[in-house]
Amino acid sequence: MTDDDSQPKPRKGLGFQLSLKGRALRLLSQREHSRLELERKLRPFEEVPGEMAAALEFLEAKDFINEQRVVESVVNRRSSKLGAARIKQELQSKGIESQAIQEAMQGMRETELERAREVWRRKFGQPAADANERAKQLRFLISRGFASEVVRRVVQGGED
């Protein structure tokens, strides 16, 4: 047996493997992630039970994972294109606490009409010529998560 045989051999084809903490930091460097999102993304790479929980606890203790920053990031990135209902759904899918979601929604509902008008203006720019066009505009804004009353006001009123 030679000295080379006593050294662990690298796995073929795998190359360098990041730790779970390293993978989480890489994901967090791209955008804010909630703990639930990181758990979903890191689960396939967990080799030792409990390893992922320990890594995420460490990152939370160091404030790398912060629920409030996730909420602010989603609201800032998505509010110019989406209504409160769609943003609420997105935050829920990220595992954000309901209290934090409710606080974010209060501010968004105050600006819902202006945001819906801006989205309508960028997409259509002019009032609907007929009923089919009006229906198309209504469906578009509703699919973006704007409240139905706000959508009706925007589509009926045009620039008003």
b/e 82-120 (16+ beta carbons within 10 angstroms → b): bbbbbbbebbeebebeeeebeebbeebeeebbebbbebb
> Is 88 contained in some domain?
yes
> Does residue 145 form part of some domain?
yes
Task: Specify whether 105 is located in the same domain as 127.
Answer: no
Rounded Cα distance between 128 and 116, Å, is 16
Domain span at residue 48?
A: 20-61
- Whole-structure pTM value: 0.80
**Any domain includes 30:** yes
Shared domain for 54 and 89, answered yes or no, is no
138 domain residue, yes or no: yes
pLDDT for position 24: 95
pLDDT along the chain (160 residues), means of 10: 48 66 94 96 92 94 95 95 96 95 91 95 92 95 96 79
Asked if the structure places residue 7 within a domain, the reply is no
pLDDT recorded at residue 11 = 46
Per-residue model confidence (pLDDT) at position 17 = 75
